[in-house]
Structure formats: structure tokens, C-alpha cells
Chain A
């Protein structure tokens, strides 16, 4: 392992012969990839904002108490029915749906009005898996193989848990009649953007889980122990935290606002 003490690095940062950012090149490339990915997600979220802003805002239904029993059929009369393309017809005003009426389910508590509860659980799972990931990176800095592996298991479990929650959320929305051509809750664009943005984010989580599994198997095989450093864990960790970061904004724009 190369220690700072035996460094032969040039002291001038931008004089060549070393990384001016003092990071490994792979980590620098991961940062640049994440910046480009941030642009992609921003474009999707800003499209959501623009299209939402171009529709009449959601009507406020403060009358449903939290936790009260409500069936799908009763909920339907809160929404203006919409047909594909109706948002372009003159005189039709399909209001943008209020998310707390669309996403108000919780497993095993069917029929109760519980807005935001399930998605908060998903947020918690993802934040916690981010914590276990950074703890794995920290253990890697100390070359503690067993601890790295332990925290990687937790991170993978968190990722799979999050994906399962998302699958359940999609199932609820699809069973309510939503797809890319139809949305019983209002404008079709709401369903389109929901499936595209959360789908793209979910695909990132899935890729992250696959990368985490590859990295964990390398940790167990002792690849990084022989190499003398756990930089790969750190690089995949950057990606995993980015996925969490994107979720913070998906959560804010889809469910809170």
C-alpha cells in the first residue's frame, strides 16, 4: 500500500506528472459521469415541472382525514375524467392530480387514506442504504475486508427493498387504470412522466444493485485486498449516493409538491 509518507508526487498541482485534483482517474471520471447523469435527470424533472405548470393546478381536497377508510370508486369523483388528448380540447380542464389522492396506499392497509406514508418508507430505506454504503467505503479506507462485506450486504438489501417498494407502487397505480395512454386521475402526461422518471430512477437503482453485487463478490474474493486499496468500493459508492440524491428530488417534486 502506498502511504503519503513515501510520496514522490510533484508538489505543483498543475505542473503535470500527477492528478491536479488529487484523485484517482476512475473517481474523477465517475464524478464527470454523475454530472452528465444529473443533467439527464434535471431535464426529466424540469420537463415534469414545465408540463405540470401548463395545466390548471390540483384542486385541494382537505376533507379526507388521514387514515380514514376510502375506496377507489369514491376517490374517482374527485378527478375530472380525461381521454387521451383531452387536455388540448377547448373548454376541458383536466386538473393536475393532487399526489396525495393518487399515492395514498400502504401494504396490508388497503382502502385507507394514507398519503405520503409509503413513499416516506421508501425514502428512509434509500437513505439508510446510502449510510451503509458510506460505512463500507469508510471500512475500505481501513482495509477492513469483513466490515466492507457486511455493509455491502446491507446496501444491497436496501436497494432490493427499495425496488420492491417501487414495484408495489407501480402495481397500485397500474391497477387503478394508469398507463402510458391513459390516466384516470387527470392528464395523461402525469402518468407518462411518473412512469418515465421513476422508471429511469428505478433502472439506476437496479444498475446500482448489480454493481454492488459485483463489487461485493470482488471484496469476498479478496481482489481489493491484494490490490491494496478499496477504491472501487468508493467509486460505486459515489454512484449509489447519486441515486439517493436523485430520489430526494423525485420525492420533492412528485410527492411533496
Chain B
């Protein structure tokens, strides 16, 4: 179905000649970070330090997926903030839930 309304709501950007280079660069970064994950998994002993490294690497991977693949780097700041700022609710839930999980642990096993 073709849009018959002649209302133009946004400015279309010209194709970016550098886009393909950026995509492949991001692919190699993501692949590299996943291999770093594997290296840490097999060579660093289990513990909180290792877990924090994994979570930080996950956030770095998320930055590259959202920024380059989802093109968010090139969006207007208002759109970026609208999507990124609500993530504080997720952070709040993580804090509350870890506290609750610790409470349950003490309730069952202490």
C-alpha cells in the first residue's frame, strides 16, 4: 500500500558512503568482545570480578549494537534520551530485586 498523503514529516538523509565500513568494523568489534568473553570464561576463576567483567562487556556490546546497527548514533538527541533514560527504571528494579533475593537467601539458608 503506497502512501497517498503528501505530508512530509522528516528529512531523508543521503546514503552514507562510509556506512558499510562502519558496519563491518562493528562486526569485528562484537566478534572480538565475544571471544574476550570466552577467554575470561576459561582463564579467570569464578567470582564476582569475572561476573562484573561479563556484565560490562555486555553493556559495551549493547552500545555497538544499538549505536551502529540500530543507527542510534545518528538520531536526534531527543530520540536518544527518550529511549535511553527510561533504562533507569530497569536499574532500579535490579537494585530492588538483588536486595529481595538476598533477603530470601537469608530466610531459607541461614
Contact = CB atoms under 8 A, between A and B. Distances in A.
A2 B12 contact: yes
A28 B75 CA distance: 11
A248 B108 contact: no
A50 interface: yes
Interface string A187-214: 0000000000000000000000000000
B109 to A, nearest CB: 6
B109 A242 contact: no
Q: Is the interface of B mostly helix, strand, loop or mixed?
A: helix
B41 A256 contact: yes
A64 interface: no
B27 A49 contact: no
A150 B24 CA distance: 17
Contacts of A248: 58, 61-62, 65
Contacts, number: 163
Nearest to A99: B41
A39 B108 contact: no
Contacts of B16: 141
Contact of A54 (B23, B30, B51, B101): B101
Contacts of A19: 9-10
Given A22-B76, A127-B34, A238 B98 contact: no
- Interface range on chain A: under 10, 10 to 19, 20 to 34, or 35 or more? 35 or more
Contacts of A238: 70
B38 A31 contact: no
Contacts of B37: 252, 256
A208 to B, nearest CB: 14
Nearest to B103: A54
A21 interface: yes
Contacts of B30: 127
Interface in B70-105: 70-71, 75-76, 78-79, 82-83, 86-87, 89-90, 93-94, 97-98, 100-102, 104-105
Contacts of B61: 248
A29 interface: no
A159 to B, nearest CB: 15
Interface residues of B, number: 61
A24 B14 CA distance: 15
B12 A23 contact: no
A108 interface: no
Contacts of B46: 58, 60
Interface in A36-83: 38-39, 42-43, 46-47, 49-56, 58, 60, 66
19 contacts: A3-B12, A7-B11, A21-B75, A35-B86, A46-B97, A53-B98, A53-B102, A54-B108, A60-B45, A130-B69, A131-B23, A131-B69, A138-B15, A141-B15, A141-B19, A226-B2, A238-B70, A244-B69, A256-B41
Interface of B: 2-3, 8-16, 19-20, 23-24, 26-27, 30-31, 34, 37-38, 41-42, 45-46, 50-51, 54-55, 57-58, 61-62, 65-66, 68-71, 75-76, 78-79, 82-83, 86-87, 89-90, 93-94, 97-98, 100-102, 104-105, 108-109
Given A42-B93, A87-B108, A257-B54, 4 more contacts: A24-B9, A124-B34, A137-B71, A252-B57
